[in-house]
Amino acid sequence: MDAQQIKYGSVDPILIIHKLFLDFEHNAGNIEALRGVSLTLRRGEILALIGESGCGKSVLLKAIPGLNSKRARLKGGRVLFYPRSQSNGIELSALTSKQLRLVRGSLIGTVFQDSAASLNPAVATGRQLEAQIMRQAGLSQAQARSRLVELLSSLDLKDPQRISALPPQLLSGGERQRCCLALALAGSIELLLADEITTALDPTVQLTLLRLLLKLKERFSLSVLLITHNLGVAAAVADRIGIMYAGRIVEIGTAAEICENPQHPYTRTLFAALPERAKRGEELPTITGSAPVLINPPSGDLFARRDPCPLRIDFIKAPPFFALSPTHMVATWRLHPAVCGQNYPVLEELS
Amino acid sequence: MLTALIRVLGTVFSLCLLSVLIFVLAHAAPGDPLQSFFGNAADSLDAAQRLQALDALGLNRPLYQQYFSWLQQIFQGNWGMSLIYRMPVQHLLPLYLLNTLILGGIAFLLIAVLALILALICARFEGRLTDRLICSLGSASYFLPSFWLGVILILIFAVNLRLLPPGGAYDPGQSASLLNRSIHLLLPLAVLVLSHVWYYGALLRSRLLEELRADYILTAKACGLSSVQILISQALRTMLPFMLQLCAIALPHILGGTFVVEAVFNYPGAGLLIVQSAKGHDYNLLLALVLLSGFVMICSALLAHILSAYFDFRLRARPEASWLH
Amino acid sequence: MAALKLDKNELSLLRPCSEEELRQLNAEIHTHSVLKHLSVRQQAGLSQKLALFLLGLIILLCVAAPLICTHDPTKFYLSHLNESPGQEFWLGTDSLGRDLFSLLCYGGRSSLLIGTIGALCSCALGLIIGIGSALFPRYVGVFLQRLIEICQSVPSLLWMLTIAAFIPRRDELTLALIIGCCSWFSLARLARAETLQLQGASFMEAAASFNSSVFLKIRLHLWPRLVSVLNFAPAAAFNQALLAEAVLSFLGLGLPLEQLSWGCVLSLSGRALQHNAWWVIVFPGIILLVTMLTMTLLCASWRIEHKRRCSNL
């Protein structure tokens, strides 16, 4: 554990995911949802993970606090968590479910995409939030109620009384998602996992929620792993952006680097396909095909099958990470010295 | 408030329909109508006396007039004469009804509690040995015909092992002894519970499993609750209206089961009365019992609906228009 | 920062693909993915095969009764009263001296017939009234709903007893119809609930916007949904009819005792208790139980498993 920390020494990580392999059992074979994902989340940063449906980003997010279904099998790798109270870190992937229960809600908070389905429809919102506050902070009901009002007003909810009294389905989408955030923030969490929290909202509400997220990060000293498929959302709030494809991270870097200088063909086509960049009168560029089914996946770079001009080696061997800068890493053969002419340092895995 | 009122009015309408149905059945009953009032003496009346008797009883008037006077009689407590027992029906019923209430009531409670516990256990250990074992044993017990199970239990415990009495509600002279009554209740209760518990257990289990696939359960897990806490504090709350509806369905179902069990164990309850009156063509008694049971069920359905509407926000929304138009 | 080692062969592949190679690789990918998407068909498990075998055996025994039974079921063998199972009488005799095995085989004919007709009648009534109460406009629909409610408020058995009391002479067809007409309530309620659930579905709004006719909507949307939800209904109705016949005959309100059916044999169990003749009680019960279990198992294999998601617990 210490050696790992020395490696990432200058970085002060709160979460280290190291070569995670995760399979789902299925009738037709095992679905390899995560095929060697490595990631470091630094304390106090917002890391956005982008990818299309089926690339494994939700699976990765749920794998951290162990929320995947019973069919998920961890085939290899570790998840290390470094809360402030434990300087040696906790290996989340090795904990039993009883031990994980102590971490969920109190140190790691999770917010999901569908806020309408994420709250119990038969109970008033206020009651659910109060119950969680009482559980996490050990307060009495009266104390929990006043803390709830504080929490809701820090989330910019104007009328806490009304919102507490209503069941979740009678609230608006934005209010509901904030209540889900409140539920996650009820304990004194350090890591917030947000799975597409803005996807189900309309654009104006999305922006407000993102600004709120930044405010909350400062106020509660959070580190956030944000999953989205919207490049705009990522560009707006993230410090670093990671691109996932077919169970692997293919490119990672600071927001500026990714937005201004995407190097992986997948990232490039994602940016090219943005409607904002389309020219009137021309055809909208798209990525043909669909996400691969990860049962017995072939070797090599899986994006090559959808790439309009792939390299021959993409079908044979998976590329390593080439580091364009200390923060920008890309896994593509196009950055090999023989292809691009430049000599970039090579990493076998992400650090 | 308005919907509740409409609901109550609808219930009253159902009750009226039921009473009309019973009245029509009563009049369609084969046999001499005078027999139900005078018993066997009706055979010895001559033609003039018959007409006089029919006039006096109002049996010559148009049907709707007869219906309203019949209804009036019912409300006044005059339910006719029982042929087999030679007593007014309203004097005959209370004791037997009490016995059925004891048997059916205890069985209902036991079934409700057991079914819920079994469903919770199955949901907690879904897919594993416990779940599969409970499901197979449950299905087997559901298929056993209840009267056959009763006879087998009598064969084993009463005839061969002589541990428990073969029938009746209490030994002669011991109607007030709780211990005696309880011993006599053991076998009938066992049969009732065994034959009904898995019907509701399976329904609860499948509904519970469906609820567990909802997103809010995952949120609860992400908040740090344990499986047991999630089952009890989250899943059960959303299942409360469903459970209440099941209770409403269970009442006629279990009551139907008590009829058979009472017949097998010779237990002096409403079920035994019904079987005897059906065999003996005692229509007054039979129809009075049918009307009574229908009344109880309809009212309990209304109660269940009100209670579930109180507990479930979802039910308060109005249903949408028909998709035919 | 490790150095990357590629051998000479791999180094030669660091070039863009030619047209021909692309075409070939795409063809490979296509077959690869198609093969992988083949869903695993549900194979008939061992239990289903066993169920089919047992049910077939029972039906065969009943149909071929005259060929298999060694004794006449209506004959009273007065010298062999209450005999336990043995060489001559395979399943023993009852207190009147009748051979139990023959009784069961001949009785099975009536029982199975009543079960089938009763089930058909009950399913048909239940579906028609249930769907009708949800589909018909305003007053007819409400009336049908109230009808279902009041009919369901009285236990099916009670209805059957009442109507059986009114009809003194009952043969198999009459009994089957009585049973069928008193057991449709729960199916009607379920069918109505399913049809109503479709009302709020978005695809129904879409169908309405296409001006689909009612029959098309029923065929395309309602029927598949009903089949997937109510596919347990035929087996359940059959079991219920079989059981109802047994109960009614046991209580003395089913078939007259001269006729043979499983229920009539079971109604002998009262006397059998007095003589401690366990075979008269056990064997008919077992055959009834096995018939019902096998029927249910067979229909269970048609059920579509909704393995949509995993439990979140």
Token reading at C152: 């369901």
**Position of tokens 């359960």?**
B217
Q: Over 50: is that where the pLDDT of B324 sits?
A: no
**Position of tokens 């011993």?**
B183
Closest Cβ–Cβ partner in C3, C17, C309 for A312: C17
Q: Which of B106-120, B261-275, B290-304 has the lowest mean pLDDT?
A: B290-304
* The predicted structure's pLDDT at residue A72: 92
CA distance B115 to chain A (A): 22
Residue type for position C291: T
The whole-angstrom separation of Cα A289 and Cα A291 is 7
Check if B286 contacts C (Cβ < 8 Å): yes
- B204-227 burial, b for 16+ CB within 10 Å, e for fewer? bbebbbbbbbbbbbbbbbbbbbeb
CA distance B239 to chain A (A): 9
Q: Which residues of A touch C16 (CB under 8 A)?
A: 309-312
What is the pLDDT of chain B when averaged over all its residues?
82
Check if A186 contacts B (Cβ < 8 Å): yes
Q: Which of A244-253, B279-288, C116-125 has the lowest mean pLDDT?
A: B279-288
In sequence order, the β-bridge partners of residue A223 are A191
* Contacts for A179 with CB less than 8 Å, ≥ 6 apart: A115, A119, A125, A129, A152, A157, A163, A168, A171
B163 CB neighbour count, 10 Å cutoff: 11
Pairs across B and C, CB distance < 8 A: 173
Q: Which of C179, C304, C155 is nearest to C239 (CA)?
A: C179
For range A164-185, the mean pLDDT = 93
B235 CB neighbour count, 10 Å cutoff: 25
The whole-angstrom separation of Cα C71 and Cα A321 is 87
Which pLDDT band holds residue B311 (cuts at 50, 70, 90)?
low
* The predicted structure's pLDDT at residue B314: 53
Check if B40 contacts C (Cβ < 8 Å): no
**Position of tokens 């047994």?**
C246
* The predicted structure's pLDDT at residue B320: 35
Per-residue pLDDT tens over the stretch C13-68? 888 888 888 888 777 766 555 554 444 344 456 777 888 888 888 888 888 888 87
Contact call for C311 and A333, based on CB within 8 A: no
Contact call for C311 and A310, based on CB within 8 A: no
Name the 3-class secondary structure at A24: strand
Closest residue, chain A, to C3 (C-alpha) = A346
Contact between residue B107 and residue B185 where contact means Cβ atoms under 8 Å apart: no
* The predicted structure's pLDDT at residue C42: 46
- The CATH class that applies to domain C59-308 reads mainly alpha
In sequence order, the β-bridge partners of residue A42 are A13
* The predicted structure's pLDDT at residue A227: 95
* The predicted structure's pLDDT at residue B110: 95
For range B220-238, the mean pLDDT = 92
Question: Most C CBs within 10 Å: which of B148, B285, B289, as the mutation test of the C interface?
Answer: B148
For range A15-43, the mean pLDDT = 91
In sequence order, the β-bridge partners of residue A251 are A243, A330
* The predicted structure's pLDDT at residue C38: 44
Contact call for B14 and C150, based on CB within 8 A: yes
Would strands A329-330 and A90-91 be described as parallel, antiparallel, or unpaired? unpaired
| Terminal-residue alpha carbon distance, chain B | 28
Q: Which residues of C touch A345 (CB under 8 A)?
A: 1
The whole-angstrom separation of Cα A335 and Cα A324 is 9
The whole-angstrom separation of Cα B90 and Cα B71 is 15
* The predicted structure's pLDDT at residue C118: 94
Other chains touching C, judged by 3 or more CB pairs under 8 Å: A, B
**Position of tokens 């691109």?**
A243
For chain C, the structural domain boundaries read 59-308
Complex ipTM: 0.90
* The predicted structure's pLDDT at residue A7: 47
CA distance to A121, A223, A240, A252, B303, per residue, from B246 (Å): 20, 47, 53, 55, 12
Name the 3-class secondary structure at B173: coil
Q: Which of A156-170, B180-194, C204-218 has the lowest mean pLDDT?
A: C204-218
**C144 phi, psi to nearest 5 deg:** -65, -35
Name the 3-class secondary structure at B35: helix
Per-residue pLDDT tens over the stretch A276-302? 878 888 888 888 888 888 888 888 888
Which pLDDT band holds residue B288 (cuts at 50, 70, 90)?
confident
**Position of tokens 């089913």?**
C254
* The predicted structure's pLDDT at residue B318: 35
* Contacts for B25 with CB less than 8 Å, ≥ 6 apart: B287, B290, C162, C166
For chain C, which residues score pLDDT lower than 50?
Answer: 1, 36-43
Closest Cβ–Cβ partner in B219, B225, B241 for A112: B219
For range B295-300, the mean pLDDT = 82
Check if A199 contacts B (Cβ < 8 Å): no
Between B200 and C12, name the one with better pLDDT. B200
**C86 phi, psi to nearest 5 deg:** -160, -160
Which residues in chain A belong to E strands, given as ranges? 13-24, 31-42, 46-50, 72-81, 90-91, 108-111, 191-195, 223-228, 240-245, 248-254, 321-323, 329-330, 346-347
What's the number of CA atoms in the CB half-sphere (13 Å) around residue C42? 9
Q: Over 50: is that where the pLDDT of A180 sits?
A: yes
The whole-angstrom separation of Cα C262 and Cα B30 is 29
* The predicted structure's pLDDT at residue A176: 94
Check if B290 contacts C (Cβ < 8 Å): yes
The whole-angstrom separation of Cα B82 and Cα B45 is 20
Contact between residue A219 and residue A24 where contact means Cβ atoms under 8 Å apart: no
Other chains touching B, judged by 3 or more CB pairs under 8 Å: A, C
For chain A, the structural domain boundaries read 266-347
Q: Which of A201-205, B11-15, B261-265 has the lowest mean pLDDT?
A: B11-15
Question: Most A CBs within 10 Å: which of C5, C8, C15, C26, as the mutation test of the A interface?
Answer: C15
**C24 phi, psi to nearest 5 deg:** -60, -45
Helix C233-251 × helix B270-279 angle, to 10°: 70
